[in-house]
Amino acid sequence: MRLLGCLLLLALAASGWSCGKAEAPAPKVLVIGMDGATWDLLTPWMDAGELPRLRALRDGGVFGTLYSVLPPLSPPAWTTAFTGVNPGSHGIFDFFRLDPDSMKAYTETAASRRVPGIWTLLTDAGRKVGVLNIPMTDPPDPVNGFQVAGLPHPDSVGYAYPPELEARLHARGYRLDRMGEALIQGQEGALRDEILDTFRRRRDVALDLEREHPDLDLYWVVFTGTDRIQHFFWKFMEKDHPFYDPAMAARFGDSILDVYRGVDAAVGSLVDLAAEQAKASGRELAVVVLSDHGFCGIHRAFRPQSFLKHPTDGEPPITDVYSLETNASLLYVPERGREPGATRSPAEHARVVNDILRRVLAVRDPQNGLCPVVFGAKREDVYRGRYVDKAPDLVFLAREHYYLINEEGDKAPFGTPAFSFNAHHDLRGMFIANGPMFRTGHVEGRQSLLDITPTLMYLAGETVPGYMEGQVLTGLFQDAFLARQPVRRDSSEAQETGSDEVDPIRLIPYLQ
């Protein structure tokens, strides 16, 4: 009998019972991404009562700055957020990748990501997940639940899992984000309405899918309209912007706020529904709101390639430096054996890279005496991991209100911005965490996108894989929750995914 009793106690303990009490299940987790959201806008709008649901989450939870990757571009940023590793490990540095044989730039896709996303890890652990519109997830992964991929979309099909979900989305009028938009004079209203319409259709689908899947362990939704509207309509809102026009501001000055008002209401609806579902299943609800980077207006443009081709520093010109897209924060220096026709030896390549870094960090804008970059480094000083060789040779972070643009030719190195969008990414993103397991109030520190997936794995009650570079943000949690659900971390290595092969995918211009 004593042996039978011991066996019974062991069985009860294994099934989650101890001393007659059920062990509390892990929380249901709702993650809402607001692409490009910044406290610079959120704080005054929250305090003015414009964003009541986000304000309630902030005031009732813990919040702070969430630092992006270098440079703060959406593809490496979101991929870092959902993998817990830096671009040198997951292999995504930009919207594009270079085929060294043809020297053509191809759109990056999820197929070239080399580390699994959190949804794959949770699926393998028997958990149910829902994923909607996270950038750099097309093609979607097979998951226990559903996944609707975010931009870029190499094609207009094959973006949902399970595949039959795609037809239902099409029937509901779901719209994919497109790339290559431009703010055309006289068509400002049409672009604003397109961004708002795409957001509203996504909001409706996000709620429908949440209702259809009440038993999700993790639901991660990203609203990208916040980023897209800010790129093009910032100049109508910021009075100090060089292209501010009072008459146009009267018509379009609230465009960004209108998108945030819509997102605020959508956040409220998603949280309310998740709270009902969590309560019905006897679980707590953890809500995390985050952005992949911040935002600020563009007042000045710096053209690194033009500066190097037509130097103003008295040093020799360098004529073959290139960037894969309009953003010149990432520069490549041709090297023999990598780019066709390149003649620089590895030693000469290293010397030129060092020279460019030194010269760009020393250049000054003749208008104000400022350097247009606040940080610059070689790839090996920024990234780590087995895919660092895929990275650009040089990485720069623009000074606030500057944009490093890939405009070659005879244009002056410095000038007033003369391109379609008028605001761009900042390193400082945001986060809010709300739920009974979290502390309250503002938290200082260097919370990073690297920390998101380890923290979400912990919230879901799972072991954090040892290969993840980020940490569980234990400082966000109540002591009682940490005692009830200790952090578990193993020594596992990442399961290899993806491929470096270049797929025959058409080139998609990014925000030309």
3-state secondary structure 249-295: HHHHCCHHHHHHHHHHHHHHHHHHHHHHHHHHCCCCEEEEEECCCEE
Tell me the residue type at 384. Answer: R
- Asked if 25-296+424-484 and 300-416 have one fold, the answer is no
Which residues on adjacent β-strands are paired with residue 97?
A: 106
13 pLDDT band, cuts 50/70/90, is: very low
Check whether 10 has a pLDDT greater than 70: no
CA distance 416 to 297: 12
Q: What is the pLDDT of residue 500?
A: 55
> Does an H or E element contain 63, and which?
strand 62-67
pLDDT digits (tens, 9 = 90+) for 204-216: 999 999 999 999 9
Is residue 3's pLDDT more than 70? Answer: no
Rounded to whole angstroms, how far apart are CA atoms 206 and 451? 25
Give the DSSP letter string of 447-463: -BGGGHHHHHHHHTT-P
Which 3 state secondary structure label does DSSP give 375? Answer: strand
**All residues at 6 or more sequence positions from 62 whose CB lies less than 8 Å from its CB, including other chains:** 432, 433, 434, 438, 439, 440, 441, 442, 443, 476
- Judge whether 432 and 288 are in contact, CB under 8 Å: yes
Q: How far apart are CA 468 and CA 453, in angstroms?
A: 8
Half-sphere CA count of 481, side-chain side, radius 13 A: 21
Give the amino acid at 94.
Answer: D
> How many whole angstroms separate alpha carbon 273 and alpha carbon 270?
5
**CATH fold of 25-296+424-484, please?**
Alkaline Phosphatase, subunit A (3.40.720)
- Per-residue confidence at 498, pLDDT binned at 50, 70, 90? low
The per-residue pLDDT for range 474-492, each reduced to its tens digit, is 999 999 999 999 999 998 7
**Domain residues of the chain, as ranges?**
25-296+424-484, 300-416
Give the lowest-confidence range in 325-334, 342-351, 457-466. Answer: 325-334
**226: its two tokens:** 């916040």
Read off the DSSP letter of residue 317: P
DSSP state of 367: T
Q: Using 50, 70 and 90 to split pLDDT, how confident is the model at 218?
A: very high
| Residue found by looking up tokens 């020393």 in the block | 362
CATH class of 300-416: alpha beta
